[in-house]
Chains A and B, each alone.
Chain A
């Protein structure tokens, strides 16, 4: 079955520390891969996406993600976290044909300590 796993429900980091949020997927073929962020009371905002090519993808707000085919992973990273990064982060996949049917992970809630 197609699925996305985000093993960390909650993560707490100190401001200025580095961050890595994990995402693993189970899919028949390499899908399109996405990371979204959801701040309280807000809709989901796209941070970055991977379609093909370079496996290290740069996104907005200083985030990057690395696609590792052998591990079926698409982990999100940021070298130095800011207090404003506190939010919920969702990893998602979509088939490369008919891309509307996204499959989302359960999310990781990030808390940032001052």
Chain B
């Protein structure tokens, strides 16, 4: 596609429910990243994929958070038993590759998650 797309754009859920957030990266981009943007805060790194594997999951805030990527393309971020503190905008980005050399990360528009 022309850019990174994310769905849904908005998600309202009740506390305790599970949610799945989807990211479609730019075609051919091998690296994919998830970030969380809480109100009034900067972006927090959550997880990075190179291909379908995730060499760095260090930013996932708890074991309620998980992510997978298939076909070196689409990625899904799953939050189980959502809590109110999970309310945030979840941003996805992709790049050609992540290595010792710089590769620009292209960001999607984000999914705004509200946990009631």
Could you list which residues of chain A lie within 8 angstroms of chain B, going by C-beta atoms? Answer: 4, 6, 9, 32, 36, 41-46, 49, 51, 90, 92, 94, 96-107
- Closest chain A residue to B103, Cβ basis: A99
Contacts of A90 in B (CB 8 A): 42-43
Number of A-B contacts (CB under 8 A): 65
Contacts of A101 in B (CB 8 A): 45, 48, 56
CB contacts under 8 Å to A, within B69-116, are 91, 93, 95, 98-110
- Closest chain B residue to A45, Cβ basis: B107
Give the complex CA separation of A9 and B101 in angstroms: 32
Is the Cβ of B4 less than 8 Å from the Cβ of A99? no
Give the complex CA separation of A4 and B35 in angstroms: 16
Give the complex CA separation of A46 and B31 in angstroms: 17
Is the Cβ of A99 less than 8 Å from the Cβ of B91? no
Given A51-B102, A90-B42, A107-B42: A100 touches B31 (CB 8 Å cut-off): yes
Within the complex, the shortest CB–CB distance from B96 to chain A, in Å, comes to: 11
Give the complex CA separation of A101 and B99 in angstroms: 11
Given A41-B109, A43-B107: A105 touches B91 (CB 8 Å cut-off): no
Contacts of A102 in B (CB 8 A): 43, 45, 105
Given A32-B102, A44-B91: A100 touches B48 (CB 8 Å cut-off): yes
Contacts of B9 in A (CB 8 A): 41
CB contacts under 8 Å to A, within B14-50, are 31, 33, 35, 40-45, 48
